[in-house]
Amino acid sequence: MTKLDSNEIADFRTEFLNTARLRNTQNAVVENGIKNSIINQSDVEKYNFTFSIDVDSNNVMNQQQSGRCWMFSALNFLRFYAAKKHDIKDLEFSPAYLFFYDKLERANYFYQNIIDTASHPLSDRKVNFLFNTPQQDGGDWMLLVNLVKKYGLVPNSTMTESKPALKTNELNFMFNRKLRNDAMKLRDLVNTHASSEELNAHLRKMNKENYNILSIAFGTPPKSFVFEYYDKNKVFHSTGEITPIEFFKKFVDIDLDNYIELMNLKSPDYPFDQSYGIDLSNNMVDGQAIRYLNVPMHDIRHLAIEQLKDGLPVWFACDVLQEWFNPAGLLSVDSYDWNRSFGFKLDNNKAQRVKYQESMPTHAMLICGVDLEDDRPTKWKVQNSWGPKVGHKGYFIMSNEWMNQYTYNIVVNKKYLSDKQLEGFEKDPIELPFWTDMYSK
């Protein structure tokens, strides 16, 4: 191993102090912070908030201090569809309702995986993974589909957000401790050859306890309710008594199986036109598994534009904090001048960034528009779920190059796909390991 040499460090110091560019950067950064000091103002000024195709300007929602972006963005897609169909302004579906069942189902899914791995030692990588995070807030499009198919939807007014739903760290800390204790008992039961009846009795008791915990934290989900509203023409409507499943069928009524998730990662490890699954990524027993079709980036852009042209937004997952300039609500690879200011380039390609853990899908949002010049996209309109105080009343501008570099997944109707792409999606998926970075967190 090569150790740092004190003479070399002295040379580094002298050279730094004699380089005016670096000293100027130092003065600015010490006083103002890194990003505030290296903003590329010319890049910021070239993006205005206008789009040739613009499908959605609903009020944005706010996930606050919770990791539910995947859920909020998917609910934003569904509410857009419902609001357009029924002429309702700013309709919102309840995230708390689905969050309750997501946590309940994930706990049971965790128990089943603990039982399946009970004969493995605690040092086993899969067992270690399970105990490290029994459940979490993050997720993906298909997990939302599983929840809606089984539990339906309710309007936000029927089950509003509680404090633990908006700030989940306390609940997750306590709930994961409880699940780990349960897991120890389940492993002991399996390894002492408990009967299936005894095992099921313990599972029922544990799931009942979880239901009570979540009811205390989020409120108890309704079995039925009445939804009353005025449409855009100020005509009053009432559903009468309705269940969450009936509400979904009445107000959304789309076949969620028609919407499939695509990924983009150009790498020999991930051939295009091949589908991929991820081990241990479900949120419920017998839930539909996550499946991605890997396609080139030009196909991602083309398919997103086709859906936008039909008047529907596009769910997508990205690495949102990469080169994000908050005051302008801008996602651009040129927002910050790292090379001129610090003397290095952030120039790994997309596959390298994922492989070496520099980047991964961390956040889901909704593409609501695109600006086309000669049929080529230059920038995209994005609806976030961080409330109206960021960006343009909660909306962002995403440059086309930023989309190329940091967007990993989109969800579109499968009718836009070619026959070859559909065939690739229907292939038996290659199962990625549970530690893959291609799972939206």
Residue 310: give the domain boundaries: 41-56+255-432
> In the structure encoding, which two tokens stand for residue 300, read together?
């991602």
Q: Is there a single domain that holds both residue 207 and residue 290?
A: no
Instruction: Using DSSP, state whether 261 is helix, strand or coil.
Output: strand
Query: Which domain-ending residue is among 251, 270, 300?
Result: 251
Taking the alpha carbons of 353, 434, 315, 218 in that order, is the dihedral positive or negative? negative
> In the structure encoding, which two tokens stand for residue 406, read together?
């940091």
Q: Is there a single domain that holds both residue 177 and residue 235?
A: yes
Q: Is there a single domain that holds both residue 323 and residue 219?
A: no
Residue 82 located in a structural domain: no
How far is the first Cα of the chain from the last one, in angstroms, to the nearest whole number?
A: 37
Question: What total of structural domains would you count in the chain?
Answer: 2
Cα 284 to Cα 88, 149, 266, 291, 365, distances in angstroms: 32, 12, 31, 15, 23
Q: Is there a single domain that holds both residue 129 and residue 276?
A: no
In the annotation, is 69 catalytic? yes
Q: What percent of the chain has pLDDT above 70? A: 99
Alpha-carbon span 345 to 40, nearest angstrom: 15
Q: Is there a single domain that holds both residue 410 and residue 279?
A: yes
Query: Which domain-ending residue is among 190, 216, 251?
Result: 251
Residue 362 located in a structural domain: yes
In the annotation, is 363 catalytic? yes
- pLDDT recorded at residue 341: 86
* pLDDT for residue 338 is more than 90: no
Radius of gyration of the CA atoms of the chain, in A: 24
Q: Is there a single domain that holds both residue 270 and residue 402?
A: yes
Query: Which domain-ending residue is among 251, 284, 311?
Result: 251
Alpha-carbon span 414 to 306, nearest angstrom: 11
Residue 76 located in a structural domain: no
Where on the phi/psi map is residue 273: left (φ > 0), alpha (ψ -120 to 50), or beta? left
Q: Is there a single domain that holds both residue 241 and residue 260?
A: no
Q: What CATH number is attached to the domain comprising 398?
A: 3.90.70.10
Catalytic residue (one of 69, 176, 264, 282): 69
In the annotation, is 264 catalytic? no
Catalytic residue (one of 40, 172, 283, 363): 363
Cα 95 to Cα 9, 148, 152, 258, 283, distances in angstroms: 54, 11, 12, 23, 16
Span 84-92, average pLDDT: 88
Q: What is the pLDDT of residues 165-216, one digit of tens each?
A: 999 999 999 999 999 999 999 999 999 999 999 999 999 999 999 999 999 9
* pLDDT for residue 441 is more than 60: no
Catalytic residue (one of 58, 264, 283, 384): 384
Span 83-99, average pLDDT: 92
